[in-house]
A and B are shown apart, each in its own frame.
Chain A
C-alpha cells in the first residue's frame, strides 16, 4: 500500500537551526494495516505524516503509494486517496458554511464543476450518515456553531465518505474532552472496520496504542526504533514498552511521562 524508502527530512539545512527530523526512515505499510505511532515530542511523528500527505517535500528518499511514485506530487493530489485528520478540530471543516455545504464539498474529491449536486435526495443520505453523531437535524446550521467534538466527528465522517484508501489520524482526539474523545475514537474504529481502511494513527496514550490496531511503531529522534505487529503486539504492556525504550535508546525516564507528553 505505502512504501517509504530511505526517507530523510532536514529542516533549515545549512543554518544554525538545522534539524534532522527524519533520519533515513524505511516503512512498509500493508493494505488493511491499522498502525499506532507513538513517540515523544520532536521524535518525527508529525513530520512523517506531513511527508506522507505531501505538506512538505522530502529532503531525500522515495514515497510509493498504491504502486505509484508520489514523492513529488502536491498535497492536494495525494489528498484524493489519502484522508488526513488533524489534532485541531477546526482544520477539517469550513466554519463559515453549513453542514450540508461542507458535506457536498467532501462527497467527491477533486476539482468541482458547475453542477448543483445538493438536492433533497443527497440531504436524505446526509441525514442517514449524520445519525450516529447526532447531527441529523442540523444540516443547515453553520459548522462554526458545533462543539469541537462534533466538528471532529463531522470531519471524520466527511473524510471517510469519499472512501480514501488510507487514513492519517494525527492525534485527532487530543484536543477533545474525554467523553467526546471516546465518541470520536469509537467512530474511528467503526469506520475503519466498515470501510476496511488502512490507517496510521499518532497517539500519546501507550495503553491505547497497545489495544488499538494490529501494529505499533515507536519513534525517537527521527528514527523508527520499534515496529511490532500481530501476536507480539498483543502481548505488549506499558511497562514492557517503557523497558524496551530504555534498552533501545540507552535513556532513562523517571516514569513514562516522557512518552506521554503532548505536542
Chain B
C-alpha cells in the first residue's frame, strides 16, 4: 500500500522533471503538458494492446511527446506569440488527436495484456509484487534522471540553461534560441509523455481526460521539492523534483484516505492543489523578503561598525 504511493510518485516524477525543464530551466511556461501526458498514455496503451513490446511502447510515448512539444515551440517561434498561448493551442488540439489515437474512444482499458506492471512482478519473482513494481519504476526513473543530469552538463545543456536565464546572452554567443527552444520543450514533453505511458500501464487504462490539471499538480510537486533544500546543481534539482513528486502523491493519498474526516473528497483535490501552489508562492515570496530584509539589517550593522571603528581610529 505504501509502496503504491512511491510507485505513483515515481511515475509522476518523470512528468515533474519534464515540467522542471520547461518552467524552471528554460523559463518557458508550457501548458502542452496537459495534452502530452494523455498522448503518451494513449500511444503506450494502443501500442501495447496491439501486441508490441513494452519497451517499444515507451519509446513511442517519448517521441510522441517530443513532437507535441516541438509543435508548441514552433508555434511560439514562428508566430512570435507567448509560450502560454502556444501551449494552450497545442494542448487543445492534442485532445482531438488523443481521441483519434485511442480509436475515437475516451477510454481504453489495458486488461488481459502484458504491461510493465504485470511483467515486473514476474521478473522479480523473489520479491513481493508491490516491491517489484517499486524497484522496476525506481530503476527507470533513476536511469532517466541520470541521463537528464548528464545532458544538462553538456555544452548544449548548459546553453539551454543560459537561455532560460538570459535569451540575449545566448543570441550574443551565436546560438539560435528558436532551435534551443525546439529541443528543450521537445525534451520536456518527451519526459511528460513517457510519464503518461507508464501511468497508463500503472492504472491499467488510458484516458483522453488524463491530463486535466496535470501542469498545476506538477508545479505543486516542484514547489514542495523546493522547500526541501536549495541548490543550483542539476542533479539536485532533479532529485528535488522526484522527492516533491512523491510527497505530493503521498499528500493526495492521505487526503483520499483521511480527508472524509474533515469532509474533503477527491473532487476538492484540484482546488487544494491550486491553493497549495499559491501558498508555496506566497511562502517563497515572504521568505525572500525576510532574507533580503535580514541582509539589509546586516549591511546597516556593518556600516555602523565601520563608522565606529573609523571614529575610534581618528
Q: Give A contacts to B, CB under 8 Å.
A: 74-77, 79-80, 83-84, 86, 90-98, 101-102, 104-106, 108-118, 142, 159, 162
Contacts and interface: CB of A to CB of B under 8 A. Distances in A.
B290 interface: no
Contacts of B153: 116, 118
Nearest to A91: B168
Nearest to B166: A94
B163 to A, nearest CB: 8
SS class, residues of chain B in contact with chain A: helix
Contact of B171 (A75, A95, A112): A75
8 contacts: A94-B161, A94-B165, A96-B165, A97-B158, A97-B162, A105-B173, A113-B154, A118-B153
Which of B150, B154, B155, B156 has the most chain A CB atoms closer than 10 A to its own CB?
B155
Which of A97, A113, A115 has the most chain B CB atoms closer than 10 A to its own CB?
A97
B201 to A, nearest CB: 30
B146 interface: no
A112 B155 CA distance: 6
Contact of A92 (B156, B159, B169, B232): B169
Contacts of B176: 74, 76, 111
Interface string B265-297: 000000000000000000000000000000000
Given A91-B168, A94-B165, A98-B232, A112 B154 contact: yes
A96 B173 contact: no
A172 to B, nearest CB: 13
Contacts of A98: 232
Given A111-B176, A116-B154, A79 B171 contact: yes
In the A-B complex, list the 7 residue pairs whose CB atoms are closest, starting with the nearest: A94-B165, A109-B174, A112-B155, A96-B165, A80-B174, A94-B162, A112-B156
Given A106-B173, A113-B154, A116-B154, A93 B166 contact: yes
A96 B171 contact: no
Given A79-B173, A109-B174, A90 B156 contact: no
Nearest to A53: B172
Given A83-B172, A105-B170, A112-B155, 14 more contacts: A76-B177, A90-B166, A91-B168, A93-B166, A94-B161, A97-B232, A98-B232, A105-B158, A105-B169, A109-B174, A110-B173, A110-B174, A112-B158, A114-B155
Given A90-B166, A91-B166, A117 B155 contact: yes
A104 B174 contact: no
Contacts of A75: 171
B179 interface: yes
A86 B172 CA distance: 11
Contacts of A115: 154-155
B123 to A, nearest CB: 32
Interface in B123-160: 150-151, 153-156, 158-159
Contacts of A94: 161-162, 164-166, 169
Nearest to B165: A94
A20 to B, nearest CB: 25
Given A96-B165, A97-B232, A76 B175 contact: yes
B314 to A, nearest CB: 24
B301 to A, nearest CB: 20
Contacts of A84: 172
Given A91-B168, A95-B165, A96-B164, A104 B158 contact: yes
